[in-house]
Amino acid sequence: MRQIRPMDSVMRTAAVCRAFVAVGAVLNLASCSYLLGRTPSSAPQTVAYEVFDSYYVSNKFRPNEPLTLLVISDQKRFDDVFGPASVMFSKQKWMPKDAFDSKMVAAVIRRGNAVWTYQVEALESSEGILTLRFQSKSTPGRLATFACPLLVALDRASYAAVRFVENGKELGKVRITKGQGLDVAAPRR
């Protein structure tokens, strides 16, 4: 029978502890590499945009809808929905003629007896979905009805959809169909 010396048990305990530390280090390294190796698309990426506010909405485009969400990627379709609005004593900002060669537009149209103003907070992309976050405010009108657009131009890319988030609440999502030129969604009720 072998005799166990006190030093052997200390050595065995130290070896077991080193094994646990080694396994823990490997697991920790694996989890860190997983976290560091995540795809950049999983975290929202800021997307550059430009707001154009010198357009009116055609009275032939869905005139009875109080809210319309749309994505336009074609100049002809854009011209069917919007027209340039000239306002005295105001500097107009219009899209360049060749804008749709490389751009697309996400738009919100509010209609009714109020004038709507918009402030874009962010445009972000995550896993092929664009999210347009904006604040809006309405000022009641008297007798007239208004169609107030928010036009946000951005570089064209392979997005599957655009989510519209107004004042922290999701209005709806427009699925983008390639080659369509104009995609419209019914807002959530």
- The least confident of 14-28, 62-76, 87-101, 128-142 is 14-28
- Looking at the structure, do residues 73 and 153 belong to the same domain, yes or no? yes
Average pLDDT over residues 36-63: 81
- Looking at the structure, do residues 113 and 146 belong to the same domain, yes or no? yes
Average pLDDT over residues 89-110: 87
Amino acid type, 136: S
pLDDT of 29-42, one tens digit each? 444 444 444 444 46
- Looking at the structure, do residues 32 and 102 belong to the same domain, yes or no? no
Q: Which residue has the higher pLDDT, 27 or 147?
A: 147
- Looking at the structure, do residues 105 and 146 belong to the same domain, yes or no? yes
- Number of other CB atoms surrounding residue 85 within 10 Å: 14
Question: Is it the case that residue 12 has pLDDT exceeding 80?
Answer: no
Structurally, how many domains does the chain consist of? 2
Put simply, whether the predicted model's pTM sits higher than 0.85 gets the answer no
Question: Is it the case that residue 108 has pLDDT exceeding 90?
Answer: yes
Smallest CA-to-CA distance from 80 within 90, 70, 65, 66 is with 70
- Looking at the structure, do residues 31 and 123 belong to the same domain, yes or no? no
- Number of other CB atoms surrounding residue 68 within 10 Å: 23
Distance CA 152, CA 50 (A): 6
Phi, psi of 92 (to 5 degrees): -85, 150
CA atoms within 13 A on the CB side of 101: 4
Domain that holds residue 181: 45-185
